Structure 1
């Protein structure tokens, strides 16, 4: 797995296509449009641009404290790996709200994890990076921020 890095960039430095992907995602989430085609037409980008970047760009909210973050993690079916993930969440002092792990298929388990970001929770980007660096983590995506 290639190592992911996270950057916080001021909006004026973000290429226009990435800003439009975020806007299209916002339109879809708010249900003001019902299809990706409608969203991309409205913001003026191609569907291929949307699909290329949709999983990798999202707005940064420095007011994440008190929010719920839901992650989807694909991980090797190895004893102790889930425990390692949960220890990282605990080390960053986030509150675990829900955990759902699927039955592993071909040695890979899917985990959905919702955590509450508390006032004393450490840096969210660092927590995500620490989870991603664990041996056996194949994929991590932030599904929702509420």
Structure 2
């Protein structure tokens, strides 16, 4: 049996039916809607289209839940900045697995963190927001994830 290939696709590139399937799944996952018929009606989707796509399309943040991600971070070089960043990540419940830091040049350092997101109390978007608000962080990007 061959392994399935996965692709990361921007939301605006998805078909209308795929986007509506994601909407219907979100309604069901929220617990506000209990029945598929009701979710697809609200989403404006047929049941057959929902069943066609439901097991093959997922929001990116649900695919990286319980997985390892890699963040690339540009950090201002000041005493305690790395400690502040790591503290903020620890507060989310995430577990830092590896840290790679360049030697600071012109007052800036580049950090690459591998993080186990499975114990997190929040979703990936919230983690990114938490990291971005640390004073010394100038830029943060998700550069990889292990599925």
TM-score, normalised via structure 1 length: 0.58
Classify the secondary structure of the residue corresponding to 1:90: helix
Structure 2: where are the runs of 5+ without partners?
Answer: 1-8, 15-58
Match of 1:15 among 3, 12, 16: 12
Report the count of equivalent residues.
94
Structure with greater Cα Rg: 2
SS at the partner of 1:113?
A: strand
Give the C-alpha shift of residue 15 in structure 1: 2.8
Q: More displaced, 78-87 or 106-115? A: 78-87
Following TM superposition, the consecutive aligned residue runs of length 4 or more in structure 1 with deviations greater than 4 angstroms are: none
The whole-number CA distance in structure 2 between the counterparts of 1:101 and 1:107 is 13
TM-score normalised according to structure 2 size: 0.57
Cα drift, residue 138 of structure 1: 1.2
User: Paired residue for 1:76?
Assistant: 76
Q: Which residue of 1 aligns with 2:19?
A: none
Distance (whole Å) between structure 2 residues aligned to residue 61 and residue 132 of structure 1: 17
Deviation for aligned residue 1:119: 4.2
Q: Which runs of 5+ in 1 are unaligned?
A: 1-10, 20-58
Aligned to 1:139: 139
CA shift for structure 1 position 88: 1.3
* Match in the other structure for 2:50: none
Give a deviation string over 1:27-78, Cα, whole Å, max 9, x none. xxxxxxxxxxxxxxxxxxxxxxxxxxxxxxxx61314232100001011001
Give runs of aligned pairs for residues 2-41 of structure 1, distance below 5 A: 14-16=11-13
**Could you tell me how far 1:122 is from its partner in structure 2?**
2.0
Q: In terms of mean alpha carbon deviation, does 73-82 or 59-68 score higher?
A: 59-68
